[in-house]
Amino acid sequence: MQTDFNLEGKVALVTGAAKGNGKAIADYLARLGSVVERTDLAPPEGMRGMDVTDEDSVRDGMAAVCRERGRIDILVNNAGIINKALIEDLNLDDWRKLMDVNLTGAAICAKHASRCMKEQKWGRIINISSVQAYISSETYSAYAASKAALSHLTHLWAKELAPWNITVNALCPSYVDTPMMANTIGVWAQKLDCSREQALDHLLAPIPGKRLLKPEELGYWTAVLSTDMGSGLTGANIAVSCGWLLH
C-alpha cells in the first residue's frame, strides 16, 4: 500500500453506510487503515445508529465517537434519498423529507464534526453530491436542488474551515452500480417495454464512458481527499462521471 494513501490512525465517520455507496466508501477507508464508524438510520447489528435529520441523534453519536476514539478526522456525508416527479406532480411531504436528509442532514453532521476537527486543527469533510447538481434532468427537481445546494455549501464551508486545516470537497458521481441502480434499470425496462440491457443502454446514452461507476471508485476518491497529501484541494466539486459532467 502506498504511503501517501495510508490512513492509519485516522477516525472516519460515514453516514448511510449500511449498503451501496456508503458501505463501499467505508470498506475502502478501512482497508487503508482508518478506524471507520459506520452509521445509518436503521443499521444492522454492530453499526452505530444515527438519524442525520435529528440533531440530538447526530450530537450524541458524534460525542460518543469522540469519547471512544478520541477524535473525528474524516466525515463522509453520504446519507441520501431520492424521489422523482414532474413539477406539477410534486409531493411537498416527499420534498421536505428529501431536503431534511440530503441537505439539512449533511449540514447538521458538518456542524458537529467540524467542532471536533477545529480542536485538533485537522479534518476532512467529503460531501457526496451528484452530477444532478449541475445537469437538468426531468423529474429530478427535489434531488437536484438538494445536491446543487450541497455542492455550493462545499465552497462555503471550505472557506470557513480552511484556517483550521480542514478541507471540504464534494464528489459528483454519475450512475453507480448499486442495488438502487439495479431497481432503476428495472423500472426503465418496464417503462420502455424493453430488456434490462436495452434500458441500461438508454440510461448510459448521454455518458461518454458508456458505463456505470463501481462503488469502490467513490471509495478511492474519498481516500484521495482524506490523505495528508490532499490538503491543497478544498472547495472542489469533483465530477466522477465517466465524462458526463465536464466543468
pLDDT tens track for 6-29: 899 999 999 999 999 999 999 999
Any idea which residue has 420502455 for its cell? 192
143 classed as catalytic:
yes
Helix 141-161 and helix 92-99, axial crossing angle in degrees, nearest 10:
20
CA 208 to CA 244: how far, in whole Å? Answer: 6
Question: Is pLDDT of 46 > 90?
Answer: no
The residue with cell 490512513 is: 7
Catalytic residue among 28, 140, 143, 175: 143
pTM for the complete prediction? 0.96
Q: Give pLDDT, residue 114.
A: 97
Instruction: Inform me whether the pLDDT recorded for 92 exceeds 80.
Output: yes
Residue 64 has pLDDT above 90, yes or no: yes
Pairing mode of beta strands 123-128, 74-77: parallel
How does residue 45 score in pLDDT terms, banded at 50, 70 and 90? confident
The residue type at 53? T
Summarize the confidence of residues 59-84 as an average pLDDT.
96
Q: Which of 142, 156, 127 is nearest to 221 (CA)?
A: 127
Contact 60, 78 (CB under 8 A): no
- Please, what are the domains in the chain? 3-175+214-240 (3.40.50.720), 177-212 (no CATH)
**Per-residue H/E/C for 9-24:** CCEEEECCCCCHHHHH
Confidence at residue 42, expressed as pLDDT on a 0 to 100 scale? 87
CA distance 214 to 145: 25
What is the average per-residue pLDDT within 78-92? Answer: 96
pLDDT at 11: 98
Over 50: is that where the pLDDT of 211 sits? Answer: yes
Residue 4 reports pLDDT greater than 80: no
pLDDT band at 1 (very low <50, low <70, confident <90, very high): very low
Q: Is the pLDDT of residue 2 over 70?
A: no
What share of the chain in percent tops pLDDT 90?
Answer: 94
> Span 21-50, mean pLDDT?
95
Read off the C-alpha cell for 214.
463501481
What would the pLDDT profile of 134-191 be if each residue is shown by its tens digit? 998 999 999 999 999 999 999 999 999 999 999 999 999 999 999 989 999 999 999 9
Reported as type and span, the H/E element at residue 190 is: helix 179-192
For the sheet with 11-14, list strands across it.
48-49, 35-40, 11-14, 74-77, 123-128, 166-173, 237-240
The DSSP symbol for 164 reads G
Q: Measured in Å, how far apart are the chain's first and last C-alpha atoms?
A: 31
**Counting runs of H as helices and runs of E as strands, what totals does the chain give?**
8, 7
